[in-house]
Amino acid sequence: MFNVSSPVAFIDRLAFGGNGVCRIDGKVCFVPFSCPGDEVRLNITTQKKSYCTAEIIELVSPSPSRTAPECQIFGSCGGCSWQHISYPVQLAEKRQIFADTLWRGARIGGDLIREVVAAPASYGYRSRVQFKLSVQDGELQIGFFRHASHTVENAAQGCPVALPQINELLNCFRTVLPDFSELEAIRQISIDAGRRGVIAVVQYIGPDISKISSFLIDRSNDLLHCTGLFLQTGQKPALKQLWGGGEISYEMPGRTPDNKPSLLNYGPGGFAQVNQSQNIALLSIIRQLGNFTSTENLLDLYCGNGNFSIPLAADVASVVGIEGSEDSIISAELNRSVNDVPNAEFICDNVNSGLRRLIRDGRAFDVILLDPPRTGAGDAAPDIARLNPGRIIYVSCDPSTLARDCGLLAGYGYRVAESVPVDMFPQTYHLESVTLLVKT
């Protein structure tokens, strides 16, 4: 610890990453678990050339925007970072961070950015949670890693941002697992809550798969809320079904309120958005920005299980989805069949090589939709431009890579027309967004 005369500072904003920001002797200082409007006494913990970090040692005058966290382990758990900040302030700060990032990275003006689409529920929204396990002093700990560590912080009261049915099943596991003799070999439990039930995947690293399998099967009546249980013993695809169903399902709205919704599925260990109400909001924004007329040929990059491709098929003439995960493409094909979508085609390929294949085949698309991982789609930008779509709709979970990619696409003649931030992850600094780029 540095002991730099315990300066008093005023927190004036939040930064991407979750920390509050102040200035000490003209230098930017990042302060975890502070709130805009706080007056704080600090202990400097890190000194760098252009910035420093500090911890709060006294809350001299708390901000009126402070609120009581709902989680008993908030501050030690490495998950949420903003439970101490009122939700309206979280939204305002997220918009400012988003706007600042797009301006710095691609000179996108704030007038092109809408207000953040608030989540209907700021707690109790996550439909998928991974709980870490450890044994400490002979006691089972189920929870989350502490920040920057692999020490498990026990979430004895469950996770407040998770759906209630996830916490109900977690409580069942807390009762059942201490009876297993190789408890140290269970490292993680992943729980997904869907429209038709709750599915869990137990990660086991011990030598006797038959032993853990028999134990969990014998205790199935005690896991009352579990509609499907799987065992993971190696790499992610290596799942052993112990009982119950293997599909997690959810609905996405049709083109109009009168249209039948799409029923979508994905398998245990597969990817899906964790906030279903905001997933629906993303689809609504894509439809607004796309302004589809039923004549467009749509290309959906990083399409996953057809999350957007399947419901949007009714809005366009045709849709092609590209996804590198074989399991996701299997789910997408199943969803195409279940929803009777004849104008959708799915390709299992790396996005870059899939794009080159479409270019070689002379395929043409009016609109390209992409929803890449946090690393963005920078390498794909040249080939996206070569396909020459009139519009690009970019769904992003990372403002910095979005800004970078918008800058790259600007070099190929695409300008940002509008961007809509969406709060997919309340109580954290993370932010989803949908951005429309048009050919100039």
Please check whether residue 269 lies inside any domain of the structure: no
Q: What is the reported pLDDT for 359? A: 98
Phi, psi of 280 (to 5 degrees): -65, -40
Q: What is the reported pLDDT for 1? A: 43
Task: Assign residue 46 the CATH number of its domain.
Answer: 2.40.50.140
Judged against a pLDDT cut of 80, whether residue 412 lies above it is answered with yes
Please check whether residue 115 lies inside any domain of the structure: yes
Please check whether residue 361 lies inside any domain of the structure: yes
Task: State mean pLDDT over 290-299.
Answer: 97
Q: What is the reported pLDDT for 236? A: 57
Task: State mean pLDDT over 291-319.
Answer: 98
Using CA atoms, how far apart are residues 252 and 254, in angstroms rounded to an integer?
7
Spatial contact of 252 and 283, defined as CB atoms under 8 Å apart: yes
Same domain, 168 and 201: yes
Report residue 194 as tokens.
Answer: 């869907």
Q: What is the reported pLDDT for 237? A: 60
Least confident of 64-78, 256-270, 370-384: 256-270
Q: What is the reported pLDDT for 378? A: 86
Strand ranges (DSSP E) for 181-337?
A: 186-194, 197-204, 228-232, 239-244, 248-252, 262-266, 297-301, 318-323
> Residue 50 sits in which domain range?
8-61
Closest CA to 135 of 197, 192, 206, 44: 206
If phi > 0 it is left, if psi is from -120 to 50 it is alpha, else beta; for residue 6 that is left
Please check whether residue 380 lies inside any domain of the structure: yes
Report residue 279 as tokens.
Answer: 């997933």
Q: What is the number of alpha carbons within 13 Å of residue 182 lying toward its C-beta?
A: 17
Same domain, 219 and 317: no
Closest CA to 335 of 264, 279, 383: 264
Domain total in the chain: 3
Same domain, 243 and 290: no
* pLDDT level of residue 224 (50, 70, 90 thresholds): confident
Q: What is the reported pLDDT for 9? A: 96
Report residue 216 as tokens.
Answer: 């969990």
Q: What is the number of alpha carbons within 13 Å of residue 424 lying toward its C-beta?
A: 23
Same domain, 358 and 430: yes
397 part of the active site: yes
Task: State mean pLDDT over 222-244.
Answer: 87
Of the residues 71, 303, 397, 406, only one is catalytic, namely: 397
Same domain, 200 and 281: no
Q: What is the reported pLDDT for 2? A: 44
Q: What is the reported pLDDT for 235? A: 61
If phi > 0 it is left, if psi is from -120 to 50 it is alpha, else beta; for residue 376 that is left
Residue 74: CB partners within 8 Å, gap ≥ 6? Answer: 80, 83, 84
Same domain, 55 and 104: no
Please check whether residue 90 lies inside any domain of the structure: no
Residue 167: CB partners within 8 Å, gap ≥ 6? Answer: 158, 159
Same domain, 190 and 289: no
Please check whether residue 258 lies inside any domain of the structure: no
Task: State mean pLDDT over 153-179.
Answer: 97
Q: What is the reported pLDDT for 5? A: 60
Same domain, 338 and 196: no
Please check whether residue 402 lies inside any domain of the structure: yes
Same domain, 181 and 318: no
Q: What is the reported pLDDT for 246? A: 84
Residue 9: CB partners within 8 Å, gap ≥ 6? Answer: 22, 23, 24, 29, 31, 39, 40, 42, 54
Task: Assign residue 359 the CATH number of its domain.
Answer: 3.40.50.150
Residue with structure tokens 């695809």? 237
Sheet (strand 391-396) strand order: 344-348, 318-323, 297-301, 367-370, 391-396, 432-439, 414-422
Q: What is the number of alpha carbons within 13 Å of residue 38 lying toward its C-beta?
A: 29
Task: Assign residue 178 the CATH number of its domain.
Answer: 2.40.50.1070
Beta bridge pairs of residue 435: 394, 419
* pLDDT level of residue 118 (50, 70, 90 thresholds): very high
Please check whether residue 352 lies inside any domain of the structure: yes
State the amino acid at position 411 in one-letter form: G
Same domain, 279 and 427: yes
Q: What is the pLDDT of residues 11-68, one digit of tens each?
A: 999 999 999 999 998 899 999 999 999 999 999 999 999 999 999 999 999 999 999 9
Using CA atoms, how far apart are residues 369 and 434, in angstroms rounded to an integer?
10
Same domain, 220 and 281: no
Q: What is the pLDDT of residues 350-370, one digit of tens each?
A: 999 999 999 999 999 999 999
Same domain, 299 and 198: no
Judged against a pLDDT cut of 60, whether residue 3 lies above it is answered with no
State the amino acid at position 280 in one-letter form: I
